[in-house]
Structure 1
Amino acid sequence: METIVFALQIIVLLGAIFIGIRLGGIGIGYAGGIGVVILGLALGMKPGNIPWDVILIIMSVIGAISAMQLAGGLDYLVQIAEKILRSNPRYINYLAPTVTYFLTILAGTGHTAFSMIPVIVEVAKEQNIKPSAPLSIAVVASQIAITASPVSAAVVYMSGVLEPLGWSYPILLGIWIPTTFIGCMLTAFIITMFSNLDLSKDPIYQERLAKGLVKAPAGTQHTELKKGAKLSVLIFLIGVLAVVFYATTISDVMRLPMLNYVNSLIASDSSLAVLASIVKSYIDPVIVPRDAAIMSFMLSVATFIVIFCKIEPGKIADTSVFKSGMVACVCVLGVAWLGNTFVEGHINTIKDLASVWVGKIPSLLAVVFFFAAMLLYSQAATAKAITPAVIAALGISAANPGDSYIIVASFAAVSALFVLPTYPTLLGAVQMDDTGSTRLGKYVFNHAFLIPGILAIFLSVALGFGVVALLA
């Protein structure tokens, strides 16, 4: 009987995800809710925890970026990125993922890649390069960069889990940023060296060209910026730096030495004793935790942009970033809740399997992250669903942090959102490439993003294990 119930639970889990994928967009989140209803009422599973912290961080960051977009800040960033791409168009396969990677690092969301897709297509066509090459690497880079962005929900969650195990926030960023970026660049090198990039020899391109379906490259587009565009970017950058500074300050690697220094000032009864006492009151104990800090800082950034850039708050909800961000929140709510319900219902079995297999072959955690992300559709939701079970299974704790390096090294694998060809930026790249070189195959999985994505994650994880081995 238990076997039959388990089989039905699997069917409901995969069935809800499949329906969501067929619906597309926000429908993925909707279908997740149906899955939770069936698992709970029909199959007796207790609903899992809703990832409120992840959702709220996404909402606050999206709120700030949407305000910046309305002020013209994103247009300004796109102009800068376009100049970078056009300055060395022959290296589009490297520059495109570099631009989308660092835009995501800055913004904490891969949806910023939407603004770069038309530019990448234009520059690639001008160089007679199949747009599928730079587009596929760029979209993948925008997803993997989430695991290195100091303001992403995934990084904030994971750093909160790992810090008590001896991995401070600045050290984690120092591992995740270089390993994921180098992984993306090595992927760009491999794709460039071993792919047929000649656009003129693509039969589908020639067919579309003959039918007049391909637009001629339009060259650099000069968009007049709004008055507050540059100021909005400056305010947002200050906000990001404030998040990084504060999160670093409250991490043990900085907080403990600072606390010792502050205590010495207080004990010396120097002229700085009063100031030292004030500083101590903020860091001992920490009053505002990291996730609350990023939410409050981002909402403050949005407030300052509204005031100083003189934009209308009522129009923020009409921006494309706000709409895509709120869709992402609903998707995380539905799918992550569904996934958490299933995981919590079988937590003991998962712990047993993880303790046996991940303990023997550490890199298997990356495989688990990879397939979970493919279904859960969110880096943060995947990390939150799988990591606690793995920590419990391996007996990892503050007193015994030994195997925690496995989680640090494998983290990039939660970026496998490209496997099913339904992610918004992936579909956007397919739709905006009028040459037809970026296309979906007949068999669902055989699309332009799969090989670059697997390569980038494999290389990022391999580099991660190499770096943590050096730090051990």
Structure 2
Amino acid sequence: MLSLELAIVLLSIFIGARIGGIAIGFAGGLGVMALALLGIHPGNIPWDVILIIMSVISAIAAMQIAGGMDYLVSLAENLLRRHPDKITLLAPLITYFMTLLAGTGHTAFSTLPVIAQVAKEQQIRPSRPLSVSVIASQIAITASPVSAAMVFFAGLMEPKGISYPLLIAICVGSTLSAVILTAMVANFLGCELKDDPIYQQRLAKGEISLQPSNQVALKPGAKRAVFIFLVAIILIMAYATAISPAVGFITAPQLSRDQAIIALMLTAALTITVSCKIQTDLIVTAPTFRSGMSACICVMGVAWLGDTFVEANLELIQHTASTLLHSYPWMLALVLFFAAMLLYSQAATTKALMPAALALGVSPITAIASFAAVSALFVLPTYPTLLAAVEMDDTGSTRIGKAVFNHPFMIPGILAISLSVCFGFALAHLLL
């Protein structure tokens, strides 16, 4: 039965991945229904994760309609154009911190065209900064104080004596260090742009645009929207720290951390809407809103499917894996890596596997160090930000090979996650 159940899970994920996008969430529902027909009781739908994603995305979409994203992109473009020779380092730092603040990697969409254009103007191979920037936007989810994956993981760690601010400090330190080192290595990946035959062919055919993109006029409320959003994030971090048992400033909070994030983000969205005088019907048309709501469906279907399978076979999984993980704790990172590759969501992977790993007796240090591995969304070249980077690079340097897996995101992705796990073990042993 276990083999049949696992086959259903993998087949459902495969079908969803082949269709792409939101379909992986639809396929999760199909898998749950198939397992239910075998007599398996459906698991829990991760409503807490979904509601956090919805509230954060609502605030980001309101900020985008108010012009806040254009303002942030203009700041990023000014920085890159002042230091174009350092684009391979600066570009991933920009996407990392945008994701860190927003809690979603979809913010990278707006900066990718700028990165590609500046690199091309400087005759720097665009695949170098683009590949690391996409990876940075994915891995920063595991360090963001408002991401659904981090909020859920923090809830698992606090009963283990790991405070919210300490967890954030370890994750930011390990992932940021990994991104910086990966960016340095990326400078040596691939041939120089002038030596790339595909670039030369496209250049000869006139298929490459060398004109800089036009500056977008900022809306009157752009800066105000960004300020409101940043204030909301600061309040969330302050409240989450204050109610942490390790800090204990607030011993009997009226709102849980999840509820505080949802309430503050919805309030921020309302404040931006009113103070910046934006039309509410435009918010649902924002690209970040559409991609965020798509992510909710994906998390709902895939995490529900994963929880159904794990709960049905928890005793067998515990018996089989406990000895292996006790002897080789780093194996947890590999498990999370391959699961994220299929589940296509940091939040869904965390929700589906982290509770089971802790139930097996995995130490908090191992769990924290391995957490970055849930960001392995780059292995299959079908993730939206990855595809966007490929489309926006008209030089052809950011291309997917015939073997599917031989794409420019693979080496930076594996390197960044490996370094994050190593740094995570070092920092966790040092600080815990």
One fold, TM greater than 0.5? Answer: yes
Task: Indicate conservation of the 8 Å contact 2:243/2:251, yes or no.
Answer: no
What's the CA shift for 1:374? 0.9
Give deviations 1:11-42, integer Å, cap 9, x for gaps. Answer: 2211111111111111111111111111211x
After TM superposition, where is structure 1 displaced by more than 4 Å over at least 4 residues in a row? none
What's the CA shift for 1:444? 2.1
Task: Indicate conservation of the 8 Å contact 1:133/1:197, yes or no.
Answer: no
CA distance in 2, matches of 1:162, 1:415: 19
Q: TM-score, normalised by structure 2?
A: 0.98
Task: Answer yes or no: is 1:442 the counterpart of 2:402.
Answer: yes
Give matches, 1:341-352, under 5 Å: 341-352=308-319
Match of 2:337 in 1: 370
Percent of pairs with identical residues: 57
CA distance in 1, matches of 2:312, 2:201: 52
What's the CA shift for 1:304? 0.4
Task: Answer yes or no: is 1:72 the counterpart of 2:67.
Answer: yes
Match of 1:63 in 2: 58
Task: Indicate conservation of the 8 Å contact 1:129/1:197, yes or no.
Answer: no
Match of 1:239 in 2: 232
Give matches, 1:120-269, under 5 Å: 120-192=115-187, 194-218=188-212, 221-255=214-248, 258=249
Task: Indicate conservation of the 8 Å contact 1:108/1:152, yes or no.
Answer: yes
Alignment partner for residue 78 of structure 2, among 79, 83, 102?
83
Match of 1:411 in 2: 371
What's the CA shift for 1:222? 2.1
Match of 1:261 in 2: none
Give SS of 1:254's match.
Answer: coil
Task: Indicate conservation of the 8 Å contact 2:378/2:413, yes or no.
Answer: yes
Alignment partner for residue 360 of structure 1, among 327, 344, 347?
327
CA distance in 2, matches of 1:231, 1:60: 19
Match of 1:324 in 2: 291
Q: TM-score, normalised by structure 1?
A: 0.90
Give matches, 1:422-441, under 5 Å: 422-441=382-401
Match of 1:22 in 2: 18
Q: CA RMSD in A?
A: 1.2
What's the CA shift for 1:383? 1.0
Give deviations 1:184-232, integer Å, cap 9, x for gaps. Answer: 111111121x32351111111111222222111416x322111111000
CA distance in 1, matches of 2:393, 2:108: 14
Match of 1:34 in 2: 30
Give deviations 1:231-253, integer Å, cap 9, x for gaps. Answer: 00000000000000000111123
CA distance in 1, matches of 2:398, 2:310: 35
Structure 2: 5+ residue stretches without partners: none
What's the CA shift for 1:391? 1.4
CA distance in 2, matches of 1:179, 1:197: 29
Alignment partner for residue 459 of structure 1, among 419, 424, 428?
419
CA distance in 2, matches of 1:306, 1:78: 20
Letter in 1 for 2:254: I
Task: Indicate conservation of the 8 Å contact 1:125/1:217, yes or no.
Answer: no
CA distance in 2, matches of 1:200, 1:250: 55
Task: Indicate conservation of the 8 Å contact 2:129/2:186, yes or no.
Answer: no
CA distance in 2, matches of 1:98, 1:439: 22
CA distance in 1, matches of 2:397, 2:40: 45
CA distance in 2, matches of 1:197, 1:161: 45
Structure 1: 5+ residue stretches without partners: 259-282, 397-402
Letter in 1 for 2:149: A
What's the CA shift for 1:411? 0.7
